[in-house]
Structure 1
Amino acid sequence: MKKIFFFAAALLLGSFAFAQEAQQEAQPEYGYKQTGFQKGPKVGGYIIGGYKYSDKDGANGGPGFTCRLIRLYADGTIFDDFKYRLQLQVNGANPHTKDFYLEWAKYKAFSVKMGQFKRAFTFENPMNPWDVGVGDYSFLVQKFAGMGDRLGEANMGGRDLGVQIQGDFLPIGDDQHTLLHYQLGLWNGQGINANDKDKKKDIIGTLQVQPIKGLKVGVFGWAGNWIDGTGGNWARERVSAGVFYDKDNWTVRAEYAATVGAETRQNGNQTADALYLTVGVPVRDWFKVYAKWDEYRGAANAATAHDMYSVCANFRLHKNLNFQLEYRHHEDQVFAAAGHAPGYNEFWFLTYVRF
C-alpha cells in the first residue's frame, strides 16, 4: 500500500506541475466523430537469425542454424499527445504479444505510459536488440531485468504489465540537452501476458544525470515480489548503477547490479551480482567493432562466477541491414563444479533485416 501511495503522490505532483501550461494551450476539438490529428499506424518488423557454434561440453557443436527473433509491430500517434504501440513475437513454439501500450506524451518533462513494456531497470534492458552491439543482452540484464530471471521466472523480455511516469528536464549547455531523466513505474510483477497473483505491486525506478550530451550516469531500484507456479512468494529487491556514453557512433556502457534486502535471505538464496563493460569503436561508417566483458556471480563469489569475453564485428551496410560476427570465450565456474571444463568458445554469425 505504501508503494501505491508513493506512486500516486509522484503522479499528482507531476500533474500539478504542468496544469497551468496545459490550460494556456489551444486544444483540438474532441468527439467521437473526430478522425483527424492522427499519424499512422506505421507497420513494420525485423528478423534476426544466423548460425551459432559452441565447443562447450555437451553442446555437440550446436545449436547451429537458428532464428533468434521475428517481430512485427505497429505504432502511431493521435492528437500528437497520445502514442500507441503493439509488438508481436512470431517465431518459436508460442507466438505472443511482446508490447502493447498507450502513452500520454504531451510534455517532455512528464509523460504517462500504461500497458505492457520494458521495465525501467538498467540502461541496457530498454535497448532494441539492434543497438546492443553484440549477439545478446548481458548476463546482468538476463538475470536481473527479467530475461530468464535468477529466481526462475521464464524469459519475459525484460517486460511487465504496469503504468509508468517519466520525463526529461533542466536543459543545460549550448546544445540545451536535458540534465535529468527519471522513470517511476508500478507493475504486476508477473511478467508479460499474465495477471497479478497477489495484491502487491512492484515499484521500479531510475534517476539519470547527463552532464554532457551523450554521457549518462544512472541509478536504478526495484522493490517487489514474484509468485511462482506453485504459489511460492519470492522477494525481488535489487539495485543497479551504470554509465552510458553514446555519441558520434562511439559507445561505452558499463553497469553493476546486486540483490539487496529480502532477496538475499529467502529460501537459501544468496547475494548475487553482475557486472559488464561494453566498448564500441567505429572503424568506418558501416563497420563498428565491440568488445565486451560480462560477468554473473550467482552467490557473489569467485566459485559461482561465469565470465564471458567477446569481440563482435558489426557490418551495418544500411539502417535496416546488419551482419554480425562474434567470438565469445566463457569461463564458467559453476559448470566446472559439475565436472566439466570451465572454458569453452563460441562463434556466432547473425543477420539482421528490418522492413
Structure 2
Amino acid sequence: MMKTTGLWSAFPLHHCHKGPAGPASWLRGCAVALTVLLQPMAVFADTDDEFASEEKLEEGFLTKYVNEAIAKGVEKQNKSEAKNISDYVSAPKFGGYFVGKYSYSTEEGKESGDGFSQRFVRLYVDGKILKDFAYRIQVQTNNDKFHMKDYFLEWQKFKEFRVKIGQFKRAFTFENPMNPWDVGNGNYSQVMLKLSNSGDYPGENSSGRDQGLQIQGDLFPVGKDKHSLLHYQLMVANGQGINCADANKRKDILGTIQIQPIKGLVLGVFGWTGNFTYNGVTADRERYAISAKYDAADWTFRSEYVHSVGHRYADFTIDEHGEAYVSGGTGRADAWYATLGVPCTAWLKTYVKYDVYRDQGTWGSAKSIYSVTPHIRLHKNLMFQPQFNYVHDRNLAKADYCEFWLETYVRF
C-alpha cells in the first residue's frame, strides 16, 4: 500500500499571520480540490490481515541483494548437510533507511528554522529461530548520536497468543507503532510526541519505546476474507524509556483492545498507568486513548484522542531537604488529531491534518497545527515529502507562524 507523507505548499507565506479560521478554511478547500480534481487510484492496496501492532519494515535496493545472497547460501548449505539449517534458524534479513530534512520557520526567535539536518539513519536485522521465535535488532544514529532502538524476541507459534520480551514500541495509540514511511507527515502527531513518547520528561529517551514484556494476539476470524475481529495487547514495562534500567519499584502497565468490524476499519481503546523517575522526582502517568482508523483503496483516515493525568517534571520543585513537591501546573493534558490521506496518482498521495496538544488541558495552553503533506513516491525505496504547517501556539507571545519542511526518504 502506498503510504506517504509530505507537504505541497502553493500557499504564500504572507498569508500565514491570519487567524486560525483562515488556514482551516484553506485546508478544507485544498482537500475538496484534491478530491474533485485528481482521480484516486487504488494502486498500492494493503492486503495484510494483521492489526498494525509494530513497525512494518521493508528491505531496500542494496539489502535486497544481501538478503538474497544469504538465502542462497543457506539453501546451498541445507543441501550439503544431513539436517536443514532452516529447521533451526532462518536466513537473517537486513535492512536500512535514512531520512534527511530541510526546515524553515517564521516563528519569532527561531527564524529560518534548523536548515539542513539528518533526521536519522536506521539499520536493522530480523529473522526466526526454531521457526516460532522471531527476533529483531534495530539501531539508529542521529548525527553523532548512536543508540539501540529495538531488540526483542517474540514467540509467535500461535496468532492468538504471542509473547514478546525486550525493547520495542509501547502498546499505546495507533500511530506509535507506525513506521516513519507510513505516518503521513514529516513527524508524528503531538499525541504521540507528547503522550506516547518522552514528552516533557527530561532524561527519557523514548521514541515511543520501552523495555518490558508483552502478550498480544488476534482473535475471531470473521467475514469472507477471515480478517481478525479482535486484537489485544498487554505490556509490562520499566516506564523509563529505551536503554534505561528501572528507576523505581513500580512497573508501567499498558494495554489495548481493538476491533475490526469490517476489513480496514479498526476501533481501539488504550490505557496506561505508571510513573517516571528523574533526579529525585517521580511523576505519575495515567492515560487513556480512544482511536479510529480506516484504510481502503489507498484512502487513509486516522484520528485519536489522548487524555493524561499526572504532573510534568517541570511542575515539581525540590525543597531544601531534597524533597520534591508540586509547585505548578494543572496535572492535566490532552491531545487529538485527524488526518486524511487522498490518493492522487500512482506516485502521489496527499495528506491533510489537524493536530492539537493542550499542555495544561486548557485552550489557553493549546498548540494547533494545520498541515498539508504530499507524498511523492518515485520508487518504493525513494520518497520526497514536502510539508507546510500553519501553527497557532497560544503559549507564545506571537502565536501564529509557519513552517516548511522537505524530507527525503531512502531505503538502501
TM-score relative to the length of structure 1: 0.86
Q: CA deviation at 1:124?
A: 0.2
Find the counterpart in structure 2 of residue 137 from structure 1: 188
Q: Does 1:71 align with 2:128?
A: no
> Residues 113-192 of structure 1: matches in 2 within 5 Å?
113-146=164-197, 148-192=198-242
| Mapped pair 1:308 → 2:358 | no
| 1:346 maps to 2:403 | yes
In percent, how many aligned pairs have the same letter?
51
Whole-Å separation in 1 of the counterparts to 2:220 and 2:380: 32
Stretches (4+) displaced over 6 A: none
Root-mean-square deviation (CA), in Å? 1.6
C-alpha displacement of 1:194: 0.6
Deviation at 1:43, TM superposition (A): 1.0
Q: Distance in 2 between matches of 1:172 and 1:56?
A: 51
Is 1:213 the counterpart of 2:270? The answer is no
Q: Deviations over 1:14-70 (max 9, x none)?
A: xxxxxxxxxxxxxxxxxxx98432222111100000211111111130211111110
State yes or no: 1:318 paired with 2:379. Answer: yes
Is residue 296 from structure 1 mapped to residue 357 from structure 2 by the alignment?
yes
* Counterpart contact for 2:204–2:240, Cα < 8 Å: no
Residues in 2 aligned to 1:143 and 1:249: alpha-carbon distance in whole angstroms? 28
C-alpha deviation, 1:242, in angstroms: 0.7
Question: Aligned letter for 2:380?
Answer: K
Shift in Å at residue 272 of structure 1? 0.6
For the 8 Å contact 1:72–1:90, the answer to whether it is kept is: no
CA distance in 2, matches of 1:76, 1:151: 34
Which structure has more RCO (C-alpha within 8 Å, separation ≥ 6)?
2
The alpha-carbon deviation at position 153 of structure 1 amounts to 5.0
User: Taking structure 2 as the reference length, what is the TM-score of the superposition?
Assistant: 0.74
CA distance in 2, matches of 1:180, 1:108: 12
> Residue 36 of structure 1: SS of its match in structure 2?
helix
Cα distance in 2, alignment partners of residues 193 and 56 from structure 1: 34
Structure 2 unaligned blocks of 5 or more? 1-82, 316-324
Contact 1:209 1:218 survives alignment (8 Å): yes
Deviations 1:102-153 (A, max 9, x none): 000111111000000000100000000000011000001011111x313445
The offset of 1:155, in angstroms, is: 4.0
C-alpha contact 1:237 1:263 (8 A) present in aligned 2: no
Compared with structure 1, are the counterparts of its residues 93 and 154 closer, same or farther at alpha carbon in structure 2 (3 Å cutoff)? farther
Tell me which residue corresponds to 1:253: 302
Superposed CA deviations along residues 201-247 of structure 1, whole A, max 9, x for unmatched, are 0000000010000000000000011011x121111110001101112
Q: How many residues align?
A: 316
Matched residues in 1 for 2:360 and 2:203: separation?
18
CA offsets 1:317-338 (integer angstroms, 9 cap, x no match) = 22211110110000000012xx
Partners of 2:176 and 2:208 within 8 A in 1: yes
Is this contact kept in 1: 2:365–2:395, CA < 8 A? yes
1:269 Cα offset (Å): 3.5
Equivalent residues of 2:205, 2:242 under 8 A apart: no
Secondary structure of residue in 2 paired with 1:192: coil
1:219 touches 1:239 (CA, 8 Å); kept in 2?
Answer: yes
In structure 1, the gaps of 5 or more residues are 1-32
Decide whether the 8 Å contact of 1:278 with 1:292 is kept in 2: yes
Q: Is the 8 A contact 1:42 1:76 kept in 2?
A: yes
- How far apart in 2 are the matches of 1:233 and 1:215? 38
In terms of fraction of residues, the more strand-rich structure is: 1
In the alignment, is the contact (CA less than 8 A) between 1:139 and 1:296 conserved in 2?
yes
